[in-house]
Structure 1
Amino acid sequence: MKAVTLPLYICIAFLVTSCVEKPKDVIMRANTGYALGTTYSIQYEIKNAQDDYKDDIENVFHVVNKSMSAYIPTSDISRINRGEKDVVIDSYFRAVYEFSREVYEKTDGFFDPSVGALVNAWGFGPEKPINNLTKVQVDSIMAFTGFDKVRISDEGKVFKDNPSLTFDFNSLGKGYAIDLIGKMFDEKGIKNYIIEVGGEILTKGKNTKKVKRWTVAIDSPVQESEERQYIEYITLENKAMATSGNYRKYRVDPETGDHYVHILNAKTGYPMKNNVLSVSVVADNCMKADAYATAFMVMPYEKTKKLLSELKDVDAYVVSKDQYGNIQKYTTKGFQDLIITEF
């Protein structure tokens, strides 16, 4: 949904590692392209050589953009952000809104898609940023920011306590679009696929060309050479993964030269400044993985671990630096079980 030229988070590399003989009757289709401000690569098993669902995939991106892209002036979210009161939201907007509410409550407000005005002010949204943003300006925006200040009626109308409150669903909208593509595949009877959009993925079944589970690599958040480096390799089956990080996307203030990372702390209104480099989350759907990967980037470390112990079907891999600059890794048991060292 966001108009940038590079993937927002971690890229995933599909690995061709098996030497098992390929089944002769398996036909895999690969569709690639550009959508939601990033690239996508989708592989799926088809029954007939002429089957190609790229148009269906592009249609999913279209309906998600029409509903939730802040970069399209005529989208529902853009009209709501401008304060138009006659907008009736569609099922896509409602699904993302309701799940946002759930994650907002479970994370004690650290995950908050009502930060759109702050995203714009810091230069990560569709609007012109405010250079040399002051504490007074941040505090004034924070006064009308908060998911507790908005609600949706049964009829699908959005009511905001302050008309300046602005939504930004980039933290989970891409994951939701991936889930919709997966649902479309399921309805067409496709049993094996991997969907990757900007580094976020959803898998079902196996890589039947290789007679094994889908295998992916996670980029290292510290790239020390021009050659791409990976920090872990994992296998996925009927799972989604999303990764959020602060090391690749940032804005440089043209006047001061200060670097501002793209993930904002909804509690303070400021870009995050902590030792966490990246968080990868595995869950049963990509919207969930997407949302919690963002939340865990801003939540206090101990609070993240406590919530992970309570959440069902959510596992995480956290990469950080200690006070001496050494890389530290924390993984839940469920995530650890997915890591592989041999192919």
Structure 2
Amino acid sequence: MKYLAVISFLFLLSSCKKTDQDLSATTQELYGNAIGTTYSIKYFANETKDLEPKVDSLIDLFNQSMSTWVPDSKINQINAGKDSVAVGKEFKEVFDFAQEIYRKTDGYFDPTVGNLVNAYGFGADGKKEKVPQDYQIDSLLQYVGFYKLDMVPAGKEDQYFVESSHSGIYLEFNAIAKGTLVDYIARMLENHGITDYLVEVGGEVTAAGINLEKQQEWSVGIDDPTQVAGQRELVTAVKLKDKAMAGSGNYRKFKIDQESGKEYVHTVNPLTGKAVPSEVLGVNVIAENCTLADGYATAFMAMPLEKSRRLLPNLPEIEVLIMYMGTDGKLKFETTPGFNQYVKQPIL
């Protein structure tokens, strides 16, 4: 549903290093691949802790549960119409958060948009050379609507079934599950007594405590959405402590229709079924947890700018930066009032 590449990280990966604050604390790092993207984790501990197996276990749990890129995952079994597919509490947690965001954004965040994402060639079922015609979009819209799904207990503890009032729905959590994986990794670190860390999965990040190497809050940069491929320019940096941030942007993942020459972006508007560019180029959301930040970032990318302006005052639980192209052809910025307290460097 989206490609999360609008966040750059401003910390340096380094080997175990003593800190001024606590001479027994060492810097420890993990990085690798996760749910179709990459991850990096930096944390401080008073003793060496080999947490890579636990991270791998969480990644495998999410892959097998809700990755549409894993052929026999639970979510793919559900999408294939298989009966009585029991899913676990991590699936329900994502489902419940998605339902909340779906409701609060008037349907602009909708995990049932998968058939349309696939039709445009951005999904897991293979690339398509042609974009769908209007009549095909209209036909696929009957399968869109998160209200058509529900979760019910499966009769065993922490086991649930997904019930659908409409067959043929293609459910995907690609626009929110990375954030939830970040939250799960963060909880695991805290369960091991780690209080100073930064976790990133596919550009989604949560930061706790401080960066003990620098004796300051964690710094996270936000990319300029107008940069061309191969560049890495920042528009600002934010400081995070016990907060999460996620970003969404269409400037790195789009396709050009070979016949019409028109550009189509990977963020599909679930209300219209269209995947056409809008004036909104990038969104960053700061929230208490990364699941919320992730889902809302997608919603505001799909949403018209004026709709965002009307909706944001009703969402005090998040702070948002929206980057858009003005009528003068210049990059513009709008933020909620609280976003500015996190800004480390002035927006250019």
Q: Normalising by structure 1, report the TM-score.
A: 0.92
Contact 2:6 2:222 (8 Å CA) reproduced: yes
The match for 2:56 is 58
Contact 1:201 1:240 (8 Å CA) reproduced: yes
Q: Which amino acid aligns with 1:8?
A: L
Distance in 2, Cα, partners of 1:38 & 1:201? 13
Equivalent of 2:215 in 206, 211, 221 = 211
Equivalent of 1:13 in 9, 14, 17 = 9
Distance in 2, Cα, partners of 1:84 & 1:325? 49
The match for 1:33 is 32
Matches within 5 A, 1:257-276: 257-276=261-280
Root mean square deviation, CA, Å: 1.9
Contact 2:265 2:276 (8 Å CA) reproduced: yes
Shift of 1:312: 2.9
Q: Which amino acid aligns with 1:340?
A: K
- Residues 1:325 and 2:329 are matched in the alignment: yes
Contact 1:26 1:209 (8 Å CA) reproduced: no
Q: Encode CA deviations 1:65-106: one digit per residue, 9 max, x unaligned.
A: 111001112111000000111201211111111111111111
Contact 1:175 1:287 (8 Å CA) reproduced: yes
Q: Encode CA deviations 1:118-160: one digit per residue, 9 max, x unaligned.
A: 1111101111355241111111110121112222223222222
The match for 2:309 is 305
Q: Which moved more, 1:330-339 or 1:173-182?
A: 330-339
Shift of 1:225: 8.2
Contact 1:10 1:198 (8 Å CA) reproduced: no
Distance in 2, Cα, partners of 1:278 & 1:227? 16
Shift of 1:61: 0.8
- Residues 1:291 and 2:295 are matched in the alignment: yes
- Residues 1:135 and 2:134 are matched in the alignment: yes
Distance in 2, Cα, partners of 1:176 & 1:254? 37
Contact 1:38 1:198 (8 Å CA) reproduced: yes
Q: Which amino acid aligns with 2:182?
A: I
Q: Which amino acid aligns with 2:292?
A: K
Distance in 2, Cα, partners of 1:226 & 1:176? 29
Distance in 2, Cα, partners of 1:132 & 1:244? 22
Contact 1:201 1:286 (8 Å CA) reproduced: yes
Matches within 5 A, 1:67-216: 67-130=65-128, 131-155=130-154, 156-216=160-220
Q: Which amino acid aligns with 2:34?
A: A
Query: Mind listing any 5+ residue stretches in structure 1 that lack a counterpart?
Result: none
Distance in 2, Cα, partners of 1:158 & 1:42? 32
Helix, strand or coil: the match of 1:241? strand
Shift of 1:161: 2.3
Distance in 2, Cα, partners of 1:110 & 1:132? 21
Cα distance change of structure 1 residues 258 and 94 upon mapping to structure 2, 3 Å threshold: same
Helix, strand or coil: the match of 1:74? coil
Q: Encode CA deviations 1:10-35: one digit per residue, 9 max, x unaligned.
A: 1322246xxxx844332110111111
Helix, strand or coil: the match of 1:103? helix
Equivalent of 2:340 in 332, 336, 343 = 336
| Stretches (4+) displaced over 4 A | 224-227, 254-257
Distance in 2, Cα, partners of 1:225 & 1:77? 33
Contact 1:96 1:172 (8 Å CA) reproduced: yes
The match for 1:230 is 234
Helix, strand or coil: the match of 2:319? strand
Pairs aligned (count):
333
Shift of 1:202: 0.5
Identity of aligned residues (%): 37
Cα distance change of structure 1 residues 14 and 296 upon mapping to structure 2, 3 Å threshold: same
Contact 1:265 1:271 (8 Å CA) reproduced: yes
Shift of 1:257: 4.2
Contact 1:121 1:128 (8 Å CA) reproduced: no
Distance in 1, Cα, partners of 2:304 & 2:4? 23
Q: Which moved more, 1:100-109 or 1:250-259?
A: 250-259
Q: Which amino acid aligns with 1:206?
A: I
